[in-house]
Copies of this chain bind each other. A is one copy, B any other.
Amino acid sequence: MKKDFKVIGFDADDTLWLNETYYREGEKDFYKLLADFGTPKLLAKELLKTEIQNLKLYGYGAKSFMLSMVETAMRVSENSIDNTGIEGIIHLGKDLINRPIVLLDGVKEVLEKFYDAGYKMIVVTKGDLLDQERKLANSKLEKYFHHIEIVSDKQEHNYQKLLSHLEIAPEDFLMIGNSLKSDIIPVVNIGGYGVYVPCKDQWEYEKVANVDGLKNYWEIKQISDLGDLMEI
């Protein structure tokens, strides 16, 4: 595999640290709060519908999730949810923001290895900046990264904007992440490189069916395999 990248971008949530697991737990708490108004299956479907409807307006992150839960709760309860329920949602969301940072296996060692090898590394994330800065500070990984890049979405034009801001060519950029849809496919499509590290608990919205014929990307089982893949 090619090694001479000018910048390596790392997705944050579920690439560096645990995140989706917390969201899945948050969703389960939401289903419990609303148990009178529907089965978990129905509530999941309704919540996802609200989230996708609001995506263009709210973007990603915990606050969007909270607002979409409030809206879903009112809709599925036909406006009969009481303030205790709404308070439960707010509380659940604040808890989610405050969850401890748990690094994924091998993350620190890989970052250290690549840092020592002289790579310029950045975090590329579509979450809330405040959230991501807090997580990065708590993760103790700050020293390995040049800076955080927040993108409003992870589509081709967002990566193109990012590359022009970084003032590098696509072939000088490698992106590492747990979402084919957000971290790999758009980067490879504009001429960059990708390493896909699947995680458990993938968000329904991030799932894609088909990557047949996609070039310049590799899949590894865990991030600690990155050193071997790139022979570093």
Binding site for B on A (CB under 8 A): 57-59, 63-64, 66-67, 70-71, 74, 77, 79-84, 86-87, 90, 93-94, 97-98, 128-131, 133, 146-147, 150-153, 161, 164-165
Q: Which residue of B lies closest to A71 (CB)?
A: B90
Q: Are A151 and B129 in contact (CB under 8 A)?
A: yes
* Chain B contacts for A77, CB-based, 8 A: 83
Given A63-B67, A86-B74, A147-B161, answer yes or no on A57-B152 (Cβ-Cβ < 8 Å): no
Q: Of the candidates B74, B83, B90, B133, which one forms a contact with A87 in the assembled complex, judged by CB atoms under 8 Å apart?
A: B74
Bound: A165/B58 CA distance, A: 27
* Chain B contacts for A79, CB-based, 8 A: 82-84, 87
Q: Of the candidates B90, B146, B150, which one forms a contact with A70 in the assembled complex, judged by CB atoms under 8 Å apart?
A: B90
Bound: A79/B86 CA distance, A: 10
Given A58-B130, A129-B59, A130-B152, answer yes or no on A83-B90 (Cβ-Cβ < 8 Å): no
Bound: A98/B57 CA distance, A: 8
Number of copies: 2
Bound: A86/B80 CA distance, A: 12
A229 to chain B, nearest CB (A): 28
Q: Which residue of B lies closest to A64 (CB)?
A: B63
Bound: A58/B93 CA distance, A: 10
Given A57-B94, A59-B128, A152-B133, answer yes or no on A74-B83 (Cβ-Cβ < 8 Å): yes
Most interface-central of A59, A97, A130, A150 (chain B CB within 10 A): A130
A216 to chain B, nearest CB (A): 25
Bound: A218/B97 CA distance, A: 39
Q: Which residue of B lies closest to A61 (CB)?
A: B63
